[in-house]
Amino acid sequence: MILTSILSFFGCKKQPEKSKDEIEMDKILDDWNNRKIYKVLTSEIIDKIPDDELEQAVFDNIYENIKNDFDNEFENINKLSNGQQAFWSTWVLEGEVNNGGFNQFYFNSSGQFFEMAEIGFKTIGAEKYAELTTRANKIYAVNRERLEEFDDGTMESFSESYKDNPLNKLDDEFYDLGDKESVSELRIKYIREHKTEFTIE
């Protein structure tokens, strides 16, 4: 009893036990932080990486090779193989649209990949995604000047940019398409069938 009081006095209280969800989240974060990053990919390495880890491995590999030079991100990606360009641009577009719609994709620096992503979807055989991106690119081109007026670096303006935005109607189409056809599976299939576009051998 005395020892417990002393420990409590010095801040050595027993920590509450973590819930199952917290333990699972800790494991996910540990796995993420300790994942293997391949600075060089070979056909043999790609063959050994399971499907559920392949996209992240390719992303990390490209990320390592552009040396965090995001001021020249487009120029660096544009120097890569057609397969790597298709992977990067479609991965970026998918992530942005799933997070905040096509408006967010064009609003952020990721929007510089709008043409590359359109070609990229065709490259990996995602024709419906390519067609949808083509329509989005045309709508953005028509409304670009008006939408760029909101680009002052504030969240308020970013939120305002969604009002009466003709791109909004395409977001649901993109989400519905994702329920019918997995662009992730198409990317993985392309990587498996075109390994030399992602390797240095």
CATH number at residue 94: 1.20.1420.60
- Retrieve residue 115's tokens: 């043409």
The pLDDT value given to residue 25: 74
> What is the mean predicted confidence (pLDDT) over 79-99?
97
Name the percent of the chain lying above pLDDT 70. 91
21 belongs to a structural domain: no
175 belongs to a structural domain: yes
pLDDT exceeds cutoff 60 at 5: no
CB of 133 within 8 A of CB of 97? no
Number of domains in the chain: 1
Confidence of residue 45 (pLDDT cuts 50, 70, 90): very high
The pLDDT value given to residue 201: 58
Q: Where are the alpha helices (DSSP H) in the chain?
A: 2-9, 20-33, 43-48, 51-65, 73-78, 82-107, 114-123, 127-148, 155-160, 168-180, 183-193
109 belongs to a structural domain: yes
18 belongs to a structural domain: no
100 belongs to a structural domain: yes
The pLDDT value given to residue 13: 54
CB of 116 within 8 A of CB of 79? no
**42 phi/psi in degrees, rounded to 5:** -125, 170
Shortest CA distance to 57 belongs to which of 48, 67, 66? 48
114 belongs to a structural domain: yes
3 belongs to a structural domain: no
Report which of residues 97 and 32 the model is more confident about: 97
Residue-wise pLDDT tens digits, 135-179: 999 999 999 999 999 988 889 999 999 999 999 999 999 999 999
Shortest CA distance to 110 belongs to which of 122, 126, 97? 97
* All residues at 6 or more sequence positions from 80 whose CB lies less than 8 Å from its CB, including other chains: 62, 65, 88
**Domain of residue 54, residue span:** 37-198
Measured distance CA(117)–CA(128) in Å, rounded: 13
141 belongs to a structural domain: yes
Report the predicted TM-score, pTM, of the whole model to 2 decimal places: 0.84
Q: What is the mean pLDDT of the chain?
A: 89
The pLDDT value given to residue 15: 64
**124 phi/psi in degrees, rounded to 5:** -90, 5
